Amino acid sequence: MNALELTLIRIGFLAVLWLFVIAAIGVVRTDLFGPAAARRKRARVPRPQPVTAPVSKSRPTRSRGPNQLLVTAGSLAGTSLGLTDQQITIGRANDATLVLSDDYASTRHARLFPQDGQWLVEDLGSTNGTYLDRQKVTRPTPVPVGVPIRIGKTVLELRR
């Protein structure tokens, strides 16, 4: 065995080891963003509008208004929802937009909905009530950005 062969084996093995690492990172990437083919397809084809979605005339202006709902405390802390022009229902029911696993929340606890460019919170007759900041919500109330909404142990906020 000469020195050249030795070097080739040595460097070749390291290269294969790194190839494995790179392939593994590729798998992680696919996991995060979906397969490459689907990624290209998504980029080309604009997203079709949902047929059943009601086309709201008073679409909230995205540049000014909030664009996400963030859970800041509770078992879902860290979860965020993108705001569209559809209402968000919150509760323990399986068909709620945000399903809470919180003993202090009701099945259909509250809803958030857009109206005239702002978001309103409405309590849906919950047992333990919905609080906007420290105030109990008794009728649909506008929610400013960054003000906490408390539902049981869960705290939500609108973020821009």
Contact footprint for other proteins (CB under 8 A):
1, 6, 9-14, 16-18, 20-21, 23-25, 27-28, 30-31, 33-35, 38, 42, 47, 50-53, 68, 70, 75-82, 84, 86-87, 89, 94-99, 101
> Smallest distance, Å, CB 93 to other proteins?
9
If the CB atoms of residues 138 and 155 are measured against other proteins, the closer one turns out to be 155
Residue 35 per-residue DSSP state: -
> In degrees to the nearest 10, what's the CA dihedral of 78, 84, 88, 94?
-80
CA 104 to chain CA mean position, Å: 23
If the CB atoms of residues 24 and 127 are measured against other proteins, the closer one turns out to be 24
Residues across the chain: 160
CA distance 7 to 36: 36
> Smallest distance, Å, CB 30 to other proteins?
6
CA distance 124 to 58: 23
CA distance 9 to 96: 59
> Smallest distance, Å, CB 99 to other proteins?
7
If the CB atoms of residues 71 and 137 are measured against other proteins, the closer one turns out to be 71
> Smallest distance, Å, CB 121 to other proteins?
16
